[in-house]
Amino acid sequence: MSLDRSLPSAAPATEKPGAAPTRPVPFRGSGFTHRPHRHVAPLVFAALLILWEIGSRTGFISNISLPAPTEAAEAMADLFRSGMIWKHLSASLFRLTVGWSLGTLLGIAVGLAIGLFSVARAGLSPLVSALFPIPKIALLPLFIVWFGIGEGSKVATILFGSFFPTVIATYGGVDNVDRSLIRMGQSFGLSWSSIVRKIIIPGALPAILSGFRISASIAIILLVAAEMIGAEYGIGAYILMAGALYAIDQLIAGVALLSLLGLAVAWLIGRAEKMLLGWRI
Amino acid sequence: MFKMTRRTTLRRMTSAMLAASLGLGFTAAAHANDTIKIGILSLTSHSPSIIAAGKGYFGEQGLDVEFVSFQAAQPMAVAIASNDIDFGMTAISGGLISLAEKGAIKIIGGALQETPEIDGQKILAAKAAYDAGLTSPDKLVGHSFGVTTQGSSFHYMAHKIADKAGFDRSEIRIVPMQKVPAVIAALKSGQIDAWSIVPNIAGALTKGPEVVEIGKVSDYIDNYQVTTVFTSTKNVTDHKDLVKRFLAGLAKGIDDYNAAYVDKTLGADDVAAISEMVHKYVYADQPMDKAAPRIAAGAMRINRNAKLNLASVEDQLKWFQSEKLVPGGVTMDDLVDTEFVETF
Amino acid sequence: MELILEKINHSYGDMPVLTDISLSVGSGEIVCVVGPSGCGKSTLLRIIGGLERPTSGEVLMSGEPPADSLNPLTYVFQDFALLPWRTVEGNVRLVLEDHRIGRERVGAVVDDVLARTKLTEFAAAYPRQLSGGMKQRVAIARALSVNPAVMLMDEPLSALDSQTRDLLMDDLIELWTQVRFSACYITHNLAEAVRLGHRIVVMSRRPGRIRDIVEIDIPLSERPGFPTETAAIQRRLWEMMRDEARAADRELSDVA
């Protein structure tokens, strides 16, 4: 009996032999999983903005350290009212598109060469590793001598900035193409160019596209540097001018424009991934 | 000593930025023991405070001085606004006006000024542009003109040239290059057509074959108040006495500066002693025998007793507003406090 | 066409992998190669298809392959090796595109092999949408489309569950009955070997050499009708292999 009492779970069994009472197994699997919360991000963003606005209005945030969000919004609205936004946007978009397109095209070409030919790998891959970490801003004075203070040096800055990450993404992608697929192609007697076009490039495409995300972000980061020299218009030039005039409302408006540009580019690349990589789930 | 000062200032600025981002107010602890921090650029025009410190004129006023070096005028203005330094001396820039509009800083006196009898700022042209017909500032129509940033004094000068020569301001293409060395490089290589700059730099440039002098700024701007003395609004309102003592010390430094370099009324030994002091901060990377002539070369007059040319300041403010580089609502009262020095 | 292996020896560095393998695969014959893991079966198959060079010995083809054979020696891989970015039809098309045989003929061949492998309705599906068995059907259709003289099948059913494996074996026999392809079929599964092989080559553990060759003269399509006979052969094979397999299992593996 005393034993029964010390084991309470066994106690009912002795009272009603053969018909033990049932109870559910406690659920222990909660937590540690992520569920999607759609509206949390905008709410956090809005809450931050409201706190910021209140801080600015009450003077808790000094007007030298940050403008109120409404002031930045007003500066943004001014850009639209005066129509200057289109001048700045078109100038920057031109530089971004030309520089990034040329940079990624060259980057894919060199990346493929490194991925496919051992001679190119031996010769170029250390060069890429050596040149990639150089801040392109540091080369700006040289770019000015080489390419002039016109569009040349600006496009070149962005071109070089997007070239290196694309090279690395591309040859990494080529290296990661499933070897068994290449062997399959060889076993069916596919030509070298068919294997490259139909197996290696599509296989490396996911890596190349994620390289695009990085190179596009770098291109936007470099926009400000590219527009330091001799740029009358452009979002980077606008931000620099705002900084020089200590017009921090315009500064924040310009930075917000860069953010929006980044979001737009990320969305476009997302679309491209959906289109080109539809086979991946 | 110079390096240490910079490092401590960096630390101070970091903590100040942190505090600023948290929105905390600043205490006036910076000059509790009457130590003042003066922001300087490595230019001869910043010598008066260096001389005043070196000759003990600030000490006479019960002030200990710490110098803080800056690369450009803009961060100096911001550092004064955040009370990290107390006094500075630079050209009137858009940034300075913006900070004045926010109630952070005030102009309290005048410094460098263009005067007809002294060699002032020069207008320069690239050789190629000169050969192609840009032989006088009146012919700047359709040419590019280098500036550091929009709203810099270079930008103002370019537009004043246009105004006086009688063509539209938009006929000059303003090319921002961010930094003076970049403008120099662009001018030398002919990528920009024209620029205006203080005489000692202009003199060095025109010695070479790439750059030609085509005019003087003083022909286009009357009595141009190139640089001004400014401090934080907090000092102006809460520490009037400190401001007065600083200006009194500075005035003696200005007299010595003008006597040594502009009017040249001092003996060679006195000039050498002064150059020795200045050399600690200006052309410090060069040996004394090379630096001394450069310090002396093309020194422009600094107003006695830091007198301020209000008309010129107002003209500059109007120009900034007409170009929509600063808000239209800024008044002269926002920008200048006239109680400390004589104005004209 | 007949495929003849003459005294194949192969080693990786100092490590002998295959010793003195002589074998032939006759026209219309399915030769199964069984052996414990690590006995060099897959290496042998790569050597047969010309993807790897043997250290010594030769693989010879005797007689002409069929005139319309686009790729006489064609592999079917264990991991299917389908391009995930191509549909079922596109995967089959891939191996025809390099041959100048005209758009119409490509279409006809693709339709034909898809019909024979019962994949017509899945022509537009992507590999990720298919089960393992269906994927291997696609790989087999792809192999059939080039009309091979010899199919080199590297454990084609090993990645599949046993029901799917049974179904696919039936399908393979049906396909063989239609076209009588020859095949060298590597497996470690004795049931597969007994069900599909005309001859079964038993290999020893590493270094792999031929231990025995067992011939089964019951026609493939009739084998389900002889359960006792096939079971007996399978038992005999297992007895031959058991000790080898046990020893191979206890070996420290230093080659993959």
- Chain C residues whose CB is inside 8 A of the A205 CB are 85
Nearest neighbour of C71 by CB, restricted to A178, A188, A279:
A188
Q: Please count the other Cβ atoms lying within 10 Å of the Cβ belonging to residue B70.
A: 21
Q: Model-level pTM?
A: 0.78
Nearest neighbour of A279 by CB, restricted to C81, C95, C128:
C128
- Chain A residues whose CB is inside 8 A of the C75 CB are 184, 187-188
- Chain A residues whose CB is inside 8 A of the C74 CB are 187-188
pLDDT of residue A281: 65
CA-atom Rg of chain B in angstroms: 20
CB contact under 8 A, C49 and A190: no
Chain A residue with minimum CA distance to C143: A188
Q: Please count the other Cβ atoms lying within 10 Å of the Cβ belonging to residue A92.
A: 27
Distance CA C94, CA A84 (A): 53
Which site among A88, A147, A239, A246 would you substitute to test the B interface, given the most B Cβ atoms closer than 10 Å to its Cβ? A246
Residue A142 contacts B, CB cutoff 8 Å: no
CB contact under 8 A, B191 and A141: no
Nearest CA-CA distance, residue C96 and chain A, Å: 9
Token pair 């069900």 is found at C195
pLDDT of residue B301: 87
Q: What would the mean pLDDT of C49-53 be, rounded to a whole number?
A: 88
Distance CA C183, CA B67 (A): 90
Q: Is the bond into A206 cis (omega within 30 degrees of 0)?
A: no
B183 token code pair: 């403008």
What pLDDT digit, counting tens, does each position of A37-91 carry? 888 888 998 999 999 999 988 888 887 788 889 989 999 998 999 888 999 999 9
What are the angstrom distances between the C-alpha of A69 and each of A230, A244, B98?
30, 20, 18
pLDDT of residue B6: 44
Nearest CA-CA distance, residue A192 and chain B, Å: 49
What pLDDT digit, counting tens, does each position of C89-137 carry? 999 999 998 888 888 889 999 999 999 888 999 999 999 999 888 999 9
What pLDDT digit, counting tens, does each position of C141-165 carry? 999 999 888 999 999 998 888 888 8
The structural domains of chain A, with segments of one domain joined by +, span 68-275
Distance CA C181, CA C26 (A): 10
pLDDT of residue A18: 67
Distance CA A103, CA A95 (A): 12
Distance CA B305, CA B111 (A): 9
Which site among C53, C92, C94 would you substitute to test the A interface, given the most A Cβ atoms closer than 10 Å to its Cβ? C94
Chain A residue with minimum CA distance to C81: A181
Nearest CA-CA distance, residue B145 and chain A, Å: 10
The 3 state secondary structure assigned to chain A is CHHHHHCCCCHHHHHCCCCCCCCCCCCCCCCCCCCCCCCHHHHHHHHHHHHHHHHHHHCCCCCCCCCCHHHHHHHHHHHHHHCHHHHHHHHHHHHHHHHHHHHHHHHHHHHHHHHHCHHHHHHHHHHHHHHCCCCHHHHHHHHHHHHCCCHHHHHHHHHHHHHHHHHHHHHHHHHCCCHHHHHHHHHCCCCHHHHHHHHHHHHHHHHHHHHHHHHHHHHHHHHHHHCCCCCCCCHHHHHHHHHHCCCHHHHHHHHHHHHHHHHHHHHHHHHHHHHHCCCCC
Q: What is the DSSP letter of B259?
A: I
Residue A180 contacts C, CB cutoff 8 Å: yes
Distance CA B91, CA B197 (A): 12
Q: Which of B299, B260, B254 is nearest to B276 (CA)?
A: B260
Distance CA B298, CA B44 (A): 9
Distance CA A216, CA A209 (A): 10
Distance CA A184, CA C152 (A): 12
A and B in touch (3+ CB pairs within 8 angstroms): yes
Distance CA C103, CA C101 (A): 7
Superfamily, domain B34-113+225-335 = Periplasmic binding protein-like II (3.40.190.10)
* Partners of residue B113 on adjacent β-strands: B225
A and C in touch (3+ CB pairs within 8 angstroms): yes
- Chain A residues whose CB is inside 8 A of the C184 CB are none
Chain B residue with minimum CA distance to A144: B186
The angle, 0 to 180 degrees and rounded to 10, between the axes of the packed helices A248-276 and A235-244 is: 160
Buried/exposed A29-44: b ≥16 CB within 10 Å, e otherwise: eeeeeeeeeeeeeeee
Count of helices and strands (H, E) across chain C: 7, 9
pLDDT of residue A17: 60
Chain B residue with minimum CA distance to A60: B23
Q: Which of C117, C204, C226 is nearest to C168 (CA)?
A: C117
Between B103 and A19, the more confident residue is B103
A209 token code pair: 């596209």
Distance CA A231, CA B176 (A): 7
pLDDT of residue A13: 47
Exposed/middle/buried for C61, CB within 10 Å: 0-12, 13-18, 19+? middle
Q: What is the DSSP letter of B308?
A: B
pLDDT of residue C31: 94
Which site among A201, A276, A279 would you substitute to test the C interface, given the most C Cβ atoms closer than 10 Å to its Cβ? A279
Q: Please count the other Cβ atoms lying within 10 Å of the Cβ belonging to residue C182.
A: 20
What pLDDT digit, counting tens, does each position of A159-190 carry? 999 999 999 999 999 999 999 999 999 999 89
Q: Of B332-336, C52-56, C205-209, which gets the smallest average pLDDT?
A: C205-209
Nearest CA-CA distance, residue C237 and chain A, Å: 31
Distance CA A66, CA C63 (A): 86
* Partners of residue B197 on adjacent β-strands: B122
pLDDT of residue B25: 40
Between A90 and C223, the more confident residue is A90
Which site among B76, B90, B154, B177 would you substitute to test the A interface, given the most A Cβ atoms closer than 10 Å to its Cβ? B177
Nearest neighbour of C81 by CB, restricted to A181, A189, A277:
A181
Domain B122-219: assigned CATH number: 3.40.190.10
CATH of A68-275, one of 2.30.30.100, 3.30.457.10, 1.10.3720.10, 3.40.605.10: 1.10.3720.10
The angle, 0 to 180 degrees and rounded to 10, between the axes of the packed helices A40-58 and A69-82 is: 100
Nearest neighbour of C98 by CB, restricted to A183, A191, A203:
A191
What pLDDT digit, counting tens, does each position of A141-157 carry? 777 778 888 888 899 99
- Chain C residues whose CB is inside 8 A of the A189 CB are 70-71, 98
| Percent of chain C's residues with pLDDT above 70 | 98
Which site among A53, A58, A62, A228 would you substitute to test the B interface, given the most B Cβ atoms closer than 10 Å to its Cβ? A62
Q: Calculate the average pLDDT of chain A.
A: 87
Torsion of CA C221, C222, C227, C229, to 10 degrees: -110
Contacts of residue A11, Cβ cutoff 8 Å, sequence gap at least 6: A4, A5
Q: Which residues of chain B have pLDDT under 70?
A: 1-33, 298
- Chain C residues whose CB is inside 8 A of the A184 CB are 75, 77, 81
Give me the half-sphere count of Cα atoms (radius 13 Å) on the Cβ side of residue B312. Answer: 28
Q: Which of C210, C212, C217 is nearest to C236 (CA)?
A: C212
> From start to end of B148-210, where are the E strands?
173-176, 194-197
- Give me the total of CB pairs closer than 8 Å, taking one residue from chain A and one from chain B: 93
Classify C70 as helix, strand or coil. Answer: coil
Nearest neighbour of B23 by CB, restricted to A61, A237, A240:
A61
Distance CA A145, CA B2 (A): 34
Count of helices and strands (H, E) across chain B: 15, 10
Exposed/middle/buried for A256, CB within 10 Å: 0-12, 13-18, 19+? middle
The structural domains of chain C, with segments of one domain joined by +, span 1-65+153-255, 84-147
CB contact under 8 A, A246 and B177: no
Nearest neighbour of B99 by CB, restricted to A228, A231, A246:
A246
Query: What is the dihedral sign for C-alpha B40, B43, B47, B53?
Result: positive
CB contact under 8 A, B149 and A55: no
Cα angle, residue B6 at apex, residues B3 and B8 outer, rounded to 5°: 110
Q: Please count the other Cβ atoms lying within 10 Å of the Cβ belonging to residue B101.
A: 19
Nearest neighbour of B326 by CB, restricted to A62, A64, A245:
A245
Residue A199 contacts C, CB cutoff 8 Å: yes
Q: What is the DSSP letter of B285?
A: T
- Chain A residues whose CB is inside 8 A of the B149 CB are 240-241, 244-245
Nearest neighbour of A245 by CB, restricted to B94, B104, B174:
B94
- Chain C residues whose CB is inside 8 A of the A188 CB are 71, 74-75, 94-95, 142, 146
Chain B residue with minimum CA distance to A226: B177
Query: What is the dihedral sign for C-alpha C23, C25, C29, C31?
Result: positive
Distance CA A266, CA A281 (A): 20
Contacts of residue C217, Cβ cutoff 8 Å, sequence gap at least 6: none
* Partners of residue C59 on adjacent β-strands: C5
Classify C252 as helix, strand or coil. Answer: coil
* Partners of residue B40 on adjacent β-strands: B69
Exposed/middle/buried for A3, CB within 10 Å: 0-12, 13-18, 19+? exposed
* Strand-strand pairing, C150-154 and C73-76: parallel
Residue range(s) of every CATH 3.40.190.10 domain in chain B: 34-113+225-335, 122-219
Residues on chain B bordering chain A, Cβ-to-Cβ distance under 8 angstroms:
17, 20-21, 23, 25, 74, 77-78, 81-82, 93-96, 98-99, 102-104, 148-152, 173-178, 182, 185-186, 189, 191-192, 325-326
* Strand-strand pairing, C56-62 and C182-186: unpaired
Residue A146 contacts B, CB cutoff 8 Å: no
CATH topology of domain C1-65+153-255: Rossmann fold (3.40.50)
pLDDT of residue B250: 92
Buried/exposed B254-291: b ≥16 CB within 10 Å, e otherwise: bbbbbebbbeeebeeeebebbbebbbebbbeeeeeeeb
